[in-house]
Structure 1
Amino acid sequence: MGLPCLLRHAEKQYVAVAIETLDPARFDALMARFGTPELVITPRRAATVMTAAAASNIAEQPVRIRPPENAELGWYTRLADTQFDKPGALLGPLHVVRQGDDTIPRLAVQLVKMGELLPAALLFDAGGDPLHGLSLIPLEAHVALQHLAHAPALAPVAAASLPLEAHDTTQLHVFRDPNGRAEHYAIEIGYPDRSKPVLSRLHSACFTGDVLGSLKCDCGPQLQAALAQMGAEGSGVLLYLNQEGRGIGLANKMRVYDLQSQGFDTVEANHRLGFEDDERDFRVGASMLRTLGFHNVRLLTNNPAKVGVFAANGITITEQVPLRVGRNVHNQNYLSVKALKSGHLL
């Protein structure tokens, strides 16, 4: 929701708040209570708003920037949001804070990413005073980071028969993320033999492609082709993960599309926003398969990263089955970038 929360670590506590959802009234109230905050952005975003020389000195961890005196909310927003980027326009000099523990900044950025908001946050030093009425991360910050890094332990919630065009004997299984982030779905087609490798597809939600039939990607055709192939073979499992836009959410995906219209490719646009090339967690799919009793799969994918993650999480890939459909005049550059920069076998 982007509401402020309280982060504690090593006898220090900070109020963290996402910039994207912060309005002037709340910003002024936080400033009046705690004083000037630090801006935390990712190294990817820093490379966009800083000169190349300055960005080259940035480490892999989140970048902490101390604002000029009396900086208003607009100053922070211009550094965080690509809609304010202008060619050659820099907001410097920027005072990068290089000393101190980076545990709290890393946790703040991770939480904002989990909310599918722009990966930029403000950190207000809350001192040692007791604070009430704010959500408190109930673990020490470093423990919270370890907790968030763990493989997801999804809980099966419900299942029912759902006849499809591809096959009229189908079960839809709903899984829930214990962190409350999302629900994910497993579509079990036919009666797959658990003792043999099952034809499987790990498909990330794509509202624009799966639902609207967008021509900017190949997601819709891949979904339909995977279901059709499973139906033709008589069995299979399609894992539908609610990780829209390579895990950055639909709003940020639209920001990526807007940047693409300005000449940036998918990877470049993700980086300008402050995200990595791909923010998805494919371990979710491995967890779902194990819960359903599958340990050997023939994976329908062009993405070697999925194969590696499955293999590292208890799922044996006996065959990587290509799924090359959906190329058109509108997405050919997008597919080329997937092959050149993300290693997709197209």
Structure 2
Amino acid sequence: MPKSRTLFGRPHETSLVAVDRAISEFRAGRPVLLRAGERLALALSAELADAVLVQRLDELAKGHAHLVLSAARLRRLGAKGRSETGVLAIPRIDLSRIETLALKTDGKVDAPVAPASDVDNVALELARLALVLPAVILVPVSAEAVSGEPLIEVSIEAVNAYRAAQAASLTIVGRAPVPLEGAPETEFVVFRGGEGLRDQVAIIVGKPDLSEAVPVRLHSACLTGDLFGSLKCDCGDQLRETVQWMAQNDGGILLYLDQEGRGNGISNKMRAYKLQSQGWDTYDADEVLGFDLDQRHYDFAATMLKQLGVTRVTALTNNPLKVGAIKAAGLVVAATQRVLGRPNIHNVRYLASKRDRAGHIIDMDALMARAAPKD
């Protein structure tokens, strides 16, 4: 009789362990074996592929490998109007060609773009979870061809279920008072279990009344702005001024979410910054790298709020997507409130782009008036 439980739990729990391992393997530049029923395929990050490994994969592929690219990257390669993931045949796994198609700003589509399969889409999801560029070399294989290889195997169903399962598994692992400048009555609450097991933090400022709509800000981590005071964004201002406002207005909760670079990760954020220094708009820079306007998810943020006893919020944000995500998670948004940063010559184009291209509610006149010198 087959076992219904393993050392790591029941089958659905064990499958999540496999995804955790697959993310680690993929991020390390090693191939992961994806399973869809009886179909098997090796998935390898195009960004991290090395010549020796690619040569071995080419021998396995026998001319049937292909490159999976996001719709955003395909649009930049010349596939205008593309809205879905697509694949390009690579009869020979040529690293130079792959680099051009996946990484170069002047790359162009050089072959017909075929529709993506369920396995292709999961391969791209694995890349997103691993915070590498959304470009994947996929090699269909047989079980016999990879027998004995030290590969992590994961089902496409497990990868597709991963984000929701991780959000549901969030647990509080630590909490302590941490007095802050301008907000001495503050508690940090650390959650574990989100995407990639990255810790998430709730900062409870003052004593918010949980029976009323609680002022809440969902703040995505920004190393450059929050910690170093970068002038390229308004994140640091929004972070510190929100905490001070909460301290002066009966409290609130700020969720500090590990979603650097609109969910793309710090390395891809720096790639985008390099492109911006060459004249690209913030969203165009992300599209060159293969990312859409925003890769962030907020389902785990809602789980954090619920565990803290919050049911109704006043959302401190300029981003309608955050408001929609909170509502979709079953929380009541009683009101919204804008969060202003300080404009400067380095970030004014960025702020205008958020307003014009991503629908952020930003009053540029009010911002400029705030930055004007006082008499």
- TM-score with structure 2 length normalisation? 0.84
Q: Deviations 1:28-70 (Å, cap 9, x if unpaired)?
A: 12222343421000111011123xxx444x4x33211002x44
2:119 corresponds to 1:104: yes
In structure 2, distance between residues paired with 1:331 and 1:96: 37
Query: Is the CA contact 1:166–1:230 (under 8 Å) kept in the aligned structure 2?
Result: no
User: Which structure would you say has the larger RCO, counting Cα contacts within 8 Å and 6 or more residues apart?
Assistant: 1
Q: CA deviation at 1:178?
A: 4.8
Distance 1:311 1:90, change over 3 A: closer
Alignment partner, residue 126 of structure 1:
141
**Structure 1 runs not aligned, ≥5 long:** none
In structure 2, distance between residues paired with 1:166 and 1:17: 48
Query: Is the CA contact 1:256–1:266 (under 8 Å) kept in the aligned structure 2?
Result: yes
Q: CA deviation at 1:336?
A: 0.4
2:202 corresponds to 1:202: no
In structure 2, distance between residues paired with 1:151 and 1:128: 29
2:179 corresponds to 1:156: no
The code of the aligned residue for 2:114 comes to: V
Q: CA deviation at 1:169?
A: 1.9
Q: CA deviation at 1:227?
A: 0.6
Query: Is the CA contact 1:151–1:283 (under 8 Å) kept in the aligned structure 2?
Result: no
The alignment of Structure 1 onto Structure 2 pairs a total of residues equal to: 331
Alignment partner, residue 86 of structure 2:
63
The equivalent position to 2:242 in structure 1, one of 215, 218, 226, is: 226
2:328 corresponds to 1:300: no
Query: Is the CA contact 2:47–2:132 (under 8 Å) kept in the aligned structure 1?
Result: yes
In structure 2, distance between residues paired with 1:264 and 1:218: 18
Q: CA deviation at 1:222?
A: 0.4
Distance 1:324 1:25, change over 3 A: same
Q: CA deviation at 1:262?
A: 2.4
Alignment partner, residue 95 of structure 1:
112
The equivalent position to 1:242 in structure 2, one of 258, 276, 297, is: 258
Alignment partner, residue 85 of structure 1:
105
Question: Aligned-residue CA RMSD in angstroms?
Answer: 1.8
Query: Is the CA contact 2:58–2:92 (under 8 Å) kept in the aligned structure 1?
Result: no
Q: CA deviation at 1:180?
A: 2.9
**Structure 2 runs not aligned, ≥5 long:** 1-26, 363-375
In structure 2, distance between residues paired with 1:319 and 1:151: 29
Please identify, of 262-271 and 11-20, the stretch whose mean Cα deviation from structure 2 is larger.
262-271
Q: Secondary structure at the match of 1:8?
A: strand
Distance 1:238 1:276, change over 3 A: same
Please identify, of 220-229 and 303-312, the stretch whose mean Cα deviation from structure 2 is larger.
303-312
Alignment partner, residue 212 of structure 1:
228
Runs of 4+ in 1 over 6 A off after TM superposition: none
Alignment partner, residue 27 of structure 1:
54
In structure 2, distance between residues paired with 1:276 and 1:151: 23
Q: CA deviation at 1:143?
A: 5.2
The equivalent position to 2:190 in structure 1, one of 170, 174, 178, is: 174
Percent of aligned positions with the same letter in both sequences?
36
- TM-score with structure 1 length normalisation? 0.90
In structure 2, distance between residues paired with 1:55 and 1:342: 20
Alignment partner, residue 75 of structure 1:
97
Q: Secondary structure at the match of 1:152?
A: helix
Query: Is the CA contact 2:246–2:252 (under 8 Å) kept in the aligned structure 1?
Result: yes
